[in-house]
Amino acid sequence: MAVLFLPRVATLWMLVALVVAAIGMEVSRVHLRPVNLWLFQHLRPLFKTSEWTRATGASWLVLAALVAFLVFPKGIAGLALLFVAVGDPVAALVGSRAPGPRIGGKSPLGSLAFAAIGTLVAWALAMGPGPVVGWTVVAGAVAGALAELAPLPLDDNLKVPLVSGAIMAYAL
């Protein structure tokens, strides 16, 4: 994640620009039906069907990145975003194939896979010097998995990094 190597001010300005662009895109999509239609026709694999009438996960992720880098140290913000970038697709892959109960349409086995892959990746990255080590990354990965599983109306791309980041910041 290149933003970890940029000065804080540059990172924040870049994320502000991305959030403004995302808001512009979302407003255009919602208010200009031809724009939305064109995007869905030409970039179909990038969209979920449910995003036809609501903000895209990418827009929520950019907003979460801005908030994370505003309120958490860089290392925590980076790991929190890594959890959603790696854990959420793994949870979807495992959860969509796993039998058993669902919580808000999501599989607890998918969330377990989220926590496992998040922990493995974070531990691998945290082996070097940095602010987040040991059980702190486990707490962040598990918190991210629980946030992903929680049947809250917020998009996973927003709630996962903010919840996992808050838990890691508290654990330090």
What's the pLDDT tens digit per position in 87-126? 999 999 999 898 888 898 889 999 999 999 998 988 787 6
Q: SS3 breakdown of the chain: % helix, strand, coil, rounded to 5?
A: 75, 0, 20
What pLDDT was estimated at residue 39? 85
The residue whose two tokens read 């194939």 is 97
The residue whose two tokens read 């908030």 is 67
Structural contact between residues 157 and 60, judged by C-beta atoms closer than 8 angstroms? yes
pTM (two decimals): 0.87
Mean of the pLDDT values across residues 13-36?
Answer: 92
Structural contact between residues 115 and 144, judged by C-beta atoms closer than 8 angstroms? yes
What value does the mean pLDDT of the chain take? 89
Judged against a pLDDT cut of 80, whether residue 131 lies above it is answered with no
Residues 6+ apart with CB under 8 A from 31: none
What pLDDT was estimated at residue 108? 92
Judged against a pLDDT cut of 80, whether residue 136 lies above it is answered with yes
What pLDDT was estimated at residue 149? 92
CA dist., res. 83 & res. 144, Å (int):
7
Lowest mean pLDDT among 6-15, 27-36, 72-81, 144-153: 27-36
